[in-house]
A and B are shown apart, each in its own frame.
Chain A
Amino acid sequence: DQQVKQNSPSLSVQEGRISILNCDYTNSMFDYFLWYKKYPAEGPTFLISISSIKDKNEDGRFTVFLNKSAKHLSLHIVPSQPGDSAVYFCAASVVWGNTPLVFGKGTRLSVIA
């Protein structure tokens, strides 16, 4: 029972263009959403988050959009850089703080120079 779904296993984007990574969820109780980035042989690192009271959160080149009615969120990276090539995980939680996160399977982003 996959509560957080990332339906695109991989994505290739040219350097300088926009990367859009998508995530859908089924549990309507989720109120907090996070994106993590993972390089090979390393642990995931936190990128950006959003709570359900917002529909957009921006941090530099990274923007997360949340559509609660559609149970959908997306991560936009503009402009994409070769160093952004990694696996991106979407994660969600019902409550804020001290709770396990539910992760999607990840999307492998390749930014081509």
Chain B
Amino acid sequence: NAGVMQNPRHLVRRRGQEARLRCSPMKGHSHVYWYRQLPEEGLKFMVYLQKENIIDESGMPKERFSAEFPKEGPSILRIQQVVRGDSAAYFCASSPYKGDSGANVLTFGAGSRLTVL
């Protein structure tokens, strides 16, 4: 009965490197959301995906950031050429299909903490 699984939990990168964060949604959930929490800030929405589709990426920075949720495997949030300002906690959440009860509740993973040196 695993919840939302995120890995790695901690990731250290030097400026200019790439960061890849992975998220496996809860069993039976087909919708994935990525949020970012900067120090002393709230949760900022980045992107919402279903399998093989990006539904809403209005919160995603225009450059260097991309996300995917392939037919098989976890959702990936990719940050290219990281900068110090990318240091944050990145949370993934999932929800079931709209017709299922609880579809309004996002279930969060424990987060991936990215540190850019």
Question: Does A105 reach chain B (CB closer than 8 Å)?
Answer: yes
Q: Find out whether the CB atom of A100 lies under 8 angstroms from the CB atom of B4.
A: no
Interface residues of A in 65-113 (CB under 8 A from B): 89, 93, 96-106
For this complex, into which size category does the number of interface residues on chain A fall?
20 to 34
Complex contacts, A42 vs chain B, CB 8 Å: 110-111
Complex CA gap A96/B99 in Å reads 10
Contact of B107 among A46, A89, A105, A106 (CB under 8 A): A46
Q: Find out whether the CB atom of A97 lies under 8 angstroms from the CB atom of B109.
A: no
Complex contacts, B56 vs chain A, CB 8 Å: 100
Contact of B91 among A43, A93, A96 (CB under 8 A): A43
Q: Find out whether the CB atom of B104 lies under 8 angstroms from the CB atom of A93.
A: yes
Question: Majority SS of interface residues in chain A?
Answer: loop
Question: Does A8 reach chain B (CB closer than 8 Å)?
Answer: no
Interface residues of B in 49-97 (CB under 8 A from A): 56, 59, 91, 93, 95, 97
Question: Counting chain B CB atoms within 10 Å of each CB, which of A6, A102, A104 scores highest?
Answer: A102
Q: Which residues of B contact A (CB under 8 A)?
A: 4, 6, 31, 33, 35, 41-45, 48, 56, 59, 91, 93, 95, 97-98, 103-111
Known: A98-B103, A100-B33. 4 other contacts (CB 8 A): A96-B103, A97-B95, A103-B45, A105-B42
A-B contacts, 29 of them at CB < 8 A, read A32-B104, A41-B111, A42-B110, A43-B4, A43-B91, A43-B93, A43-B108, A43-B111, A46-B105, A49-B104, A89-B43, A93-B104, A96-B98, A96-B103, A97-B95, A97-B103, A98-B31, A98-B95, A98-B97, A98-B103, A99-B48, A99-B104, A100-B33, A100-B45, A100-B48, A100-B56, A100-B59, A103-B35, A106-B42
